[in-house]
DNA sequence: CAGTATCCAAAACGATACTG
DNA sequence: CAGTATCGTTTTGGATACTG
């Protein structure tokens, strides 16, 4: 990116991370931790492979990312954020928070990845019953599966499926997000096509008590595979 | 800007404000308040006039900016942020804060504007003696003049010159910033070519007590016009 | 002052094919 | 898996001229 040529820290920051895709690569590394090239590409649907390689080189040159040749169990190179790179977390958070109202307009062709729920989980969910034993909720959002754990006051997210989860929630990404953000109550969400199985308490344990107003005006949906 | 096509609030936010120049326009409107077209252009050195017009249209369409036809005293149209647009302040702040370390590399061709000191002033300065009567510091940074006021615990910045200021500080933008950020003590700054006149107390009243490390390794400079 | 309109060269982007 | 290489398209940047 051509420099703005302005002696202002906002402009200087954008000189480094203002390029298209750059902040999304950082988002991906922040929410997934060290990643292989392929992991990054699958977490950044739409990016051209040469652009990803370019950006990684630039990020490395700028000292935000470093590559590491992982030993045998992985046997490939990993990309990880440096401390300086991880320092962008407040920027990603601020953008993500500002972007929340935009999640109402979901377009059919929008891609979705389970790890993108990490930010809303951190933003909206809390463990309201920290003294109860750990519980977990299996989420199936579209074709993505993640598990939300509540344990001793902390709520966290991991990718994949867990057959021992206390509850299972299935629905489209917008509906799931509406539920997590408090824009839609559990009962309303079910009425709109979201399916809940197992312990409702496990779900209510972490849902926000106050609405954040995503998706409360979305139309009802049909069956969700 | 082409949409990223990702159902993620960070990506959605960047769909709206990720275009080149867009966030800098927002920065300008945040730090100057409602602006005329010409004000914006002068606060965004390097932007092409058609790009500025384009971006303003886009921002207006996205509901972040609105234009207002001001009555006689001004008799021209003003551009102002909507509430939604002003909601980007945390994004600008986060970027600006992350960019602070980059201010060490000052290039001769970098442009500078007085209003760009507003963010560092908010970030670094505090009124350490809120009970004393108001005081002010005239800053001449390169060819830009601003006044920093300390009054009843609040520090603020206004553009222009004030002959009644209690102190005057003159130097290059990097040196001024080093001083304001605490990277350089008042004495050290003077040794490096920054000139201070009038009440040093007025200056010390607002300077940070702890360093923020901008410019402490910068070479000494010669005379500053 | 507040733009619009054009033009052009350069850079960025996106898609795809290919490689060690 | 981790990229390169190539190529066509789109977007910018920058300059300049013009308008009400």
- Determine which of A25-34, A57-66, B73-82, B215-224 has the lowest per-residue pLDDT on average: B215-224
Nearest to A5 among B10, B92, B111 (CB): B111
Mean pLDDT of chain B: 90
Nearest to B26 by CA among B119, B100, B156: B119
Is residue B225 scored above 70 in pLDDT? no
- Residue A176 confidence (pLDDT): 97
Helix (H, G, I), strand (E, B) or coil at B65: strand
- Chain A from 162 to 201: CB within 8 A of any B CB: 173-174
A21 CB closer than 7 A to any strand C atom: yes
Is residue B160 scored above 50 in pLDDT? yes
- Residue A141 confidence (pLDDT): 97
Domains of chain A: 9-87 (1.10.10.10), 102-223 (3.30.1050.10)
- Residue B33 confidence (pLDDT): 93
Contact B39, B27 (CB under 8 A): no
Question: Which residues partner with B6 through β-bridges?
Answer: A111
B49 CB closer than 7 A to any strand D atom: yes
A6 CB closer than 7 A to any strand D atom: no
Is residue B72 scored above 90 in pLDDT? no
Is residue B71 scored above 70 in pLDDT? no
- Chain A from 23 to 82: CB within 8 A of any B CB: 23-24, 27, 45-46
Positions on chain C within 7 A of a protein C-beta: 1-7, 11-17
Q: Does A111 touch chain B (CB under 8 A)?
A: yes
Place of tokens 């598990």: A147
**Within 104-133 of chain A, which residues have Cβ less than 7 Å from strand D?**
none
User: Gap from B50 CA to D18 C1', in Å?
Assistant: 13
- Residue B216 confidence (pLDDT): 44
- Residue A1 confidence (pLDDT): 72
User: Gap from B76 CA to C2 C1', in Å?
Assistant: 8
Nearest to B34 by CA among B89, B92, B76, B62: B76
- Residue B218 confidence (pLDDT): 43
- Residue B212 confidence (pLDDT): 62
Q: What is the pLDDT confidence band of residue B75, given thresholds at 50, 70 and 90? A: low
Query: Per-residue pLDDT averaged across B199-218, rounded?
Result: 78
Nearest to B20 among A18, A87, A112 (CB): A18
Interface test with A, best of B11, B17, B83, B212 (most A CBs within 10 A): B11
pLDDT values of chain A reduced to their tens digit, one per residue, 225 residues: 778 999 999 999 999 999 889 999 999 999 999 999 999 999 999 888 888 898 999 999 999 999 987 766 666 889 999 999 999 999 999 999 999 999 998 888 899 999 999 999 999 999 999 999 999 999 999 999 999 999 999 999 999 999 999 999 999 999 999 999 998 999 999 999 999 999 999 999 999 987 665 654 444 443 333
Q: Does A120 touch chain B (CB under 8 A)?
A: yes
Q: Which residues of A touch B1 (CB under 8 A)?
A: 20
**Within 124-143 of chain B, which residues have Cβ less than 7 Å from strand D?**
none
B71 CB closer than 7 A to any strand C atom: no
B129 CB closer than 7 A to any strand C atom: no
Q: Tell me the per-residue pLDDT of B3-43, one tens digit each, with 9 for 90 and over.
A: 899 999 999 999 999 988 999 999 999 999 999 999 999 99
- Residue B217 confidence (pLDDT): 44
CA-based nearest residue in chain A for residue B63: A102
A190 CB closer than 7 A to any strand D atom: no
Query: Per-residue pLDDT averaged across B157-166, rounded?
Result: 97
Cα angle B119, A13, A19; round to 5:
140
Any residues with CB less than 8 A from the CB of A39 and at least 6 apart, and which?
A: A32
| Residue B64 per-residue DSSP state | S
Is residue B195 scored above 90 in pLDDT? yes
User: Gap from B162 CA to C18 C1', in Å?
Assistant: 67
CA-based nearest residue in chain B for residue A17: B95
Q: Does B222 touch chain A (CB under 8 A)?
A: no
The nt closest to B74 (CA vs C1′) is C1
Query: Per-residue pLDDT averaged across B191-213, rounded?
Result: 90
- Residue B2 confidence (pLDDT): 78
User: Smallest CA–CA separation between B213 and chain A, in Å?
Assistant: 14
The structure tokens listed for B28 are 């300008």
- Residue A77 confidence (pLDDT): 86
CB contact under 8 A, B119 and A95: no
Contact A87, A96 (CB under 8 A): no
Question: Which residues partner with A148 through β-bridges?
Answer: A137, A157
Could you give the CA distance from residue B173 to residue B175 in angstroms, rounded to a whole number?
5
- Cα distances (angstroms) measured from residue A49 to each of A21, A42, A46, B15: 12, 11, 9, 20
Q: For helices A22-32 and A49-61, what crossing angle results, to 10°?
A: 80
Q: Which residues of B touch A18 (CB under 8 A)?
A: 20, 23
CB contact under 8 A, A102 and B13: yes
A77 CB closer than 7 A to any strand D atom: yes
The structure tokens listed for B132 are 């004393």
């Amino acid at each position: 990116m051509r420099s703005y040529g302005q002696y202002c820290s906002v402009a200087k920051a954008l000189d480094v991370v203002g390029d298209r895709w750059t902040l999304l690569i950082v988002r991906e590394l922040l929410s997934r931790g060290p990643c292989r090239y392929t992991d990054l590409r699958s977490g950044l649907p739409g990016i051209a492979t040469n652009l990803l390689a370019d950006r990684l080189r630039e990020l490395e040159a700028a000292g935000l990312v470093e590559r590491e040749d992982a030993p045998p169990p992985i046997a490939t190179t990993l990309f990880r954020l440096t401390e300086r790179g991880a320092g962008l977390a407040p920027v990603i958070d601020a953008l993500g928070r500002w972007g929340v109202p935009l999640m109402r307009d979901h377009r059919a062709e929008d891609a979705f990845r389970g790890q993108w729920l990490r930010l809303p989980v951190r933003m909206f969910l809390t463990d309201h019953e920290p003294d109860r034993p750990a519980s977990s909720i299996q989420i199936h959002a579209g074709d993505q599966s993640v598990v939300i754990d509540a344990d001793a006051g902390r709520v966290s997210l991991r990718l994949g499926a867990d057959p021992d989860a206390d509850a299972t929630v299935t629905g489209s990404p917008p509906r799931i997000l509406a539920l997590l953000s408090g824009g839609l109550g559990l009962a309303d969400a079910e009425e709109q096509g979201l399916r809940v199985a197992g312990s409702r308490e496990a779900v209510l344990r972490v849902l926000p008590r106050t609405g954040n107003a995503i998706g409360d005006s979305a139309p009802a949906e049909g069956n969700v595979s």
